[in-house]
Amino acid sequence: MQRRSFLKSVLAGLGAAAVAVLGYPVMRFLAPLRSAVATEKLAISKTDIPSGDAKEVIYNDKPIIVINRRGKGYIALSRVCTHFGCLVMYDKEQGRLVCPCHAGIFTLEGNVVSGPPPRPLERIPIEVTGDMIFVGYIG
């Protein structure tokens, strides 16, 4: 191998390595985000949430609340207020969810009653089977 062709081969190899080293992070940055981690399921015993009570848990890194509504069954809602993202609190006596930041009020179905929140709270799918409540996307 002549000196010139050897140098060309080395430079070509270095160029390919540089493209790989620099290109991978760029491709990772430009690639679309994977769909949200929607496969996680959370199992909660029904005995943990008596009628009228609620349980705050973390689901997919998101604070949610599972409520056992009197006569209406279980529901899971995001606790993140749709106004500026404060965490809503369960008001058991009034049967509603209250945002402490700007007094937004939601029904136990997550609908806005009053205050500045522009949208209902996000509803999280659940499945109630036997003695368990499964929080998460079913299917």
Smallest distance, ligand FES to C-beta of residue 101, A? 4
Residues 96-115 that bind ligand FES (CB under 6 A): 99, 101-102, 104, 115
- 84 binding ligand FES? (CB under 6 A): yes
- 79 binding ligand FES? (CB under 6 A): no
Q: Which of 64, 67, 77, 83 binds ligand FES (CB under 6 A)?
A: 83
Interatomic CA distance for residues 79 and 89, integer angstroms: 8
84-115 burial string, b = 16+ CB within 10 Å, else e?
Answer: eeeebebeeeeebbbbebeebbbebebebeee
- 119 binding ligand FES? (CB under 6 A): no
Interatomic CA distance for residues 106 and 111, integer angstroms: 5
- Specify the stretch interacting with ligand FES by CB under 6 A; choose among 16-24, 48-56, 59-67, 94-102: 94-102
- 89 binding ligand FES? (CB under 6 A): no
Residues 6+ apart with CB under 8 A from 67: 49, 53, 54, 74, 75, 76, 77, 90, 108
Smallest distance, ligand FES to C-beta of residue 80, A? 9
Smallest distance, ligand FES to C-beta of residue 52, A? 24
Closest by Cα among 40, 38, 44 to 67: 44
Residues forming the site for ligand FES (CB under 6 A): 81, 83-84, 86, 99, 101-102, 104, 115-117
